[in-house]
Amino acid sequence: MVRYRVRGGNALRGTAFIQGAKNAVLPMIGAALLAPKGRTVLRNVPIIEDVCRAIELAEAVGAYVELHESERTLVIDASRVSSPVLPAEIARRFRGSVLFTPALLHRLGEAIVEGVGGCNLGSRNLDFHYLGYKRLGAIVDEGETVIHVKASGLTGATLYLDTPSHTGTENLIMAAALAKGTTVIENAALEPEVLDVIDMLTKMGARISGGGTGFITVEGVDELHAVEHTVMPDRLDAGVFAMAAAITGGELSLVGTGLDLGVVRYKLEQMGVEFQSQGAVLHVRCEGPLRPINIITDTYPGFATDLQSPMMTVAALADGTSYIHERIFDGRFALAGELNKMGANVEVDGSRAIVRGCTPLTGTEVTAHDLRSGIALVLAALAAEGETVIDSGYLIDRGHAHLAARMRALGADITREISEH
């Protein structure tokens, strides 16, 4: 069991190195399995739990994978992919397992996803992936705990996504890349991570147009080949470090190529945080009191739901009342109860939260309910008086690499502990 112990009160100062994007590298590992020969090289790979799970899954289906941690580089040889089974012990802990199904369908003619199915599907919002496979000609057999997808060959079709999910978009692009004929994906996701995955697939030989327009056309090809690709920086990791500077009254330089925080930057600027772009480095500082804010989460280019929880922490320290409307995910307000244990004043009503700021936070024992609430509690702990212990720290490790070490380098008093209880 992993937990984080944080003693608050230190302003963060220095240079923060932003990790590679979690939401780009996971589909890229799935895409690497589409290449029947050669070795794929991925650079700027974040060393996070979800990447470790993805590696285990790739090895389980027969790929040979080398992770060079110090170089943050993955080398994947998928020439011996032989098993269509995504085993339950890994798939259950890793939602991204669905990203491996297109490669298995094309390489082996079937994919067997264990540990999901039944009532899980709707709540995990995975049903449209499988509906998309059906439209492309696959047969989907949904059991109690197993989903079996079979296809002797996929054929292009017109697909419509009810919601522009980035995972759904990437998955269906990969399925369409080797399908016969033309596939059109309407209401496709616009995220930069999707464009990065398209960039890699294009290098591999895929013919994809319309990325970033919401209307993607894929012309099927006969084969894709192994390539080298550098993963883009993680916008969410960058957003968290910008917020860490804001709530501690600190000053950070964020290093990452071509970093664009989009609407998160504008919202933080409204709160009084100063940003200055210096080429590939983004300088963040905050001296005065934070102003309150209104936030409505939305799909890209709107305010990212993944940064709503960390922003709630920032709002709890602002001088006034902030309003948050969560439009993307249910259950994204689990953070409120934990923040209130620390002295915050957050009131939740359905999909809306009212955050009455400027209440001093005090360290106590709290629990991460998911990755985003976990990192939001780390932020709260940095600004709190005294010591905070955050249980279920494994969830934080799912999305942020070497978090304690990176924050200690900036002056934070934070340790990651492993206990047997």
List CB contacts of 45: < 8 A, sequence separation 6 or more. Answer: 20, 25, 51, 67, 72, 73, 74, 231
69 contacts 20 by C-beta, under 8 angstroms: no
Residue holding tokens 């600190």? 250
How many angstroms separate the first and last alpha carbons of the chain?
6
User: Does the annotation list 306 as a binding residue?
Assistant: yes
Q: Catalogue the active-site residues.
A: 119
**25, 94, 405 from 79: Cα distances, Å:** 20, 24, 37
User: Does the annotation list 328 as a binding residue?
Assistant: yes
Q: What is the 3-state secondary structure (H, E, C) of 322-391?
A: EEEECCCCCCCCHHHHHHHHCCCEEEEECCEEEEECCCCCECCEEECCCHHHHHHHHHHHHHCECEEEEE
ω into residue 289 within 30 of 0, thus cis?
no
Residues 291, 294, 298, 302, Cα dihedral to 10°: -50
> Residue 67 region, left (φ>0) first, then alpha (ψ -120 to 50), else beta?
beta
Q: Which residues are annotated as a binding site for phosphoenolpyruvate?
A: 22-23
Q: Which residues are annotated as a binding site for UDP-N-acetyl-alpha-D-glucosamine?
A: 95, 306, 328
Q: Which residues are annotated as a binding site?
A: 22-23, 95, 306, 328
